[in-house]
């Protein structure tokens, strides 16, 4: 049984995580404002950057405040328990609830990490397939699924898509998250397990994804390691370093690529073909 001290510690931990997510969101907002105004203001380089960073931070802080209140309010519901969770496909009917759940799951990215466009596009067969046609890096053929409870509440989301460069061998996992109030109950693991099984059933040899070493995605790295998704590459993140520092990221942010081999492993001593009796 959970003691009240444990509950308080858990709430405090989640509040701390939520503050981190709010700050992270503000940094994204500031970055966007910075990029949007950089080309418009005719100041010498050294003054312009300083002035714009200041302005961008104000925008980020103001815009980030309501989000911070929202995620902190969400922490109060941390004691809610998920029961009878199962996985269903994204449909037009559950789309609004799916978008709301994923926005909550990715609240550390605010409006700049928004799943709505990808979720909607995945339900439009023409649009979904067309996105792959020209550019090998473009993502397409996406499908999304939701972890729902008995009442149909959406608790988490996951998805699989293809890219032009490795379409034949790999599925990529995307928009995998669990709403903060439902974390720590095995739903994330359920979503990753499902994604692996679905990719294998689709005939893919690898499940791949990209993530980052940002604080908001730290829990995911532990989950990925446990699920056998090993790091296979990384590259510098596109968020400017000074904004990373302002957001509390001590180490330079990296985009991190992970993959797991889905092919059945050969067990030493057991022949893989039919027995020659």
Ligand X SMILES: CC(C)(COP(=O)(O)OP(=O)(O)OC[C@H]1O[C@@H](n2cnc3c(N)ncnc32)[C@H](O)[C@@H]1OP(=O)(O)O)[C@@H](O)C(=O)NCCC(=O)NCCS
Q: Contact letters (x/-) for ligand X, 187-206, by CB under 6 A?
A: xxx-----------------
Give the Å distances, CA to CA, from 264 to 65, 197, 203, 267. Answer: 48, 12, 12, 9
Asked whether the beta carbons of 129 and 182 are under 8 A apart, the reply is no
Task: Between 23 and 176, name the residue whose CB sits nearer to ligand X.
Answer: 176
Stretch touching ligand X by CB under 6 A, among 121-129, 137-145, 173-181, 200-208: 173-181
Pick the piece of the chain touching ligand X (CB under 6 A) from 62-70, 91-99, 131-139, 214-222: 214-222
Distance CA 41, CA 64 (A): 24
Is 86 a binding residue for ligand X by CB under 6 A? The answer is no
Does residue 63 belong to the site contacting ligand X (CB under 6 A)? no
In the block, residue with structure tokens 């990715």: 106
Identified binder of ligand X from the candidate list 30, 211, 247, 260, rule CB under 6 A:
211
Rule CB under 6 A: say whether 186 interacts with ligand X: yes
Separation between Cα atoms, residue 59 and residue 65, nearest integer Å: 10
Shortest approach of ligand X to residue 274 CB, angstroms? Answer: 38
Give the span between the Cα atoms of 89 and 157, in whole angstroms.
Answer: 10
Instruction: Report how far residue 38's alpha carbon sits from residue 101's, in angstroms, rounded to the nearest whole number.
Output: 33
Q: Which is nearer to ligand X, 166 or 193 (CB)?
A: 193
CB of residue 195 vs ligand X: minimum separation in angstroms? 11
Task: Kindly state the greatest CA–CA separation across the chain.
Answer: 83
Name the pairing type of β-strands 206-212 and 139-148: unpaired
Query: CB of 159: closest distance to ligand X in angstroms?
Result: 11
Q: What is the binding site for ligand X (CB under 6 A)?
A: 105-106, 176-178, 183-189, 211, 217, 219-220, 222-223, 226
């Amino acid at each position: 049984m959970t003691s009240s001290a444990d509950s308080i510690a858990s709430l405090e931990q989640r509040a701390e995580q939520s503050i981190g997510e709010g700050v992270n969101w503000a940094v994204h907002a500031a970055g966007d404002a910075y990029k949007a105004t950089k080309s418009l203001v005719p100041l010498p380089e050294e003054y312009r950057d300083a002035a714009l960073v200041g302005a961008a931070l104000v925008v980020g802080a103001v815009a980030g405040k309501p989000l911070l209140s929202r995620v902190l309010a969400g922490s109060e519901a941390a004691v809610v328990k998920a029961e009878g969770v199962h996985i269903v496909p994204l449909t037009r009917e559950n789309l609004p609830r799916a978008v709301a759940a994923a926005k909550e799951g990715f609240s550390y990215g605010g409006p700049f990490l928004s799943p709505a466009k990808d979720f909607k596009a995945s339900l439009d067969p023409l649009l979904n397939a067309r996105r792959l046609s020209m550019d090998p890096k473009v993502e397409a053929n996406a499908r999304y699924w939701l972890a729902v409870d008995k009442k149909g509440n959406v608790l988490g989301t996951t998805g699989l898509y293809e890219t032009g460069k490795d379409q034949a061998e790999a599925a990529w996992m995307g928009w995998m998250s669990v709403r903060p109030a439902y974390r720590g109950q095995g739903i994330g693991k359920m979503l990753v397990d499902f994604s692996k099984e679905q990719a294998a059933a689709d005939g893919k040899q690898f499940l791949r994804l990209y993530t980052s070493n940002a604080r908001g995605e730290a829990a995911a790295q532990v989950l990925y390691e446990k699920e056998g998704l090993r790091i296979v590459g990384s590259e510098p993140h596109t968020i400017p370093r000074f904004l990373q520092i302002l957001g509390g990221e001590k180490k330079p942010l990296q985009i991190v690529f992970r993959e797991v081999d889905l092919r059945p492993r050969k067990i030493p001593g057991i022949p893989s073909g039919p027995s020659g009796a």
